[in-house]
């Protein structure tokens, strides 16, 4: 996912996030999976996000996931 639009459209599993509903957002589920899980994000061996960064994303989604 490289853009806001891609986040909103999502992928094969549907939308990556549901504005206002962090618990229903696939992106948060994947960010919190163990690194050994096939669905873990980030993929391709990139550096995982810090817990504070994941919390920031959760707050952004809870606030409505506005662009910009």
pLDDT tens per residue across span 16-56: 899 999 999 999 999 999 988 888 888 777 888 999 999 99
Predicted TM-score (pTM) of this structure: 0.83
Structural domain boundaries of the chain? 4-62
Could you tell me the CA-to-CA distances from 32 to 18, 47, 49, 50 in Å, in that order?
Answer: 16, 14, 10, 11
- pLDDT of 2 over the 80 cut: no
Q: Which residue has the higher pLDDT, 8 or 54?
A: 54
Q: What is the pLDDT of residue 14?
A: 78
**Structure tokens that stand for 6 in this block:** 């891609």
- Distance between CA atoms of residues 51 and 54, nearest Å: 5
- pLDDT of 8 over the 80 cut: yes
Q: Residue 46 has what DSSP assignment?
A: P
By C-alpha distance, which of 51, 48, 41 is closest to 17?
Answer: 41
Q: What is the pLDDT of residue 15?
A: 82
């Amino acid at each position: 996912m490289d853009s806001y639009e891609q986040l909103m459209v999502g992928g094969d599993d549907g939308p990556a996030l549901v504005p206002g509903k962090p618990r229903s957002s696939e992106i948060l589920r994947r960010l919190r999976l163990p690194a050994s899980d096939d669905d873990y994000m980030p993929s391709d061996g990139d550096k995982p996000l810090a817990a504070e960064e994941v919390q920031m994303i959760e707050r952004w989604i809870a606030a409505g996931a506005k662009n910009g």
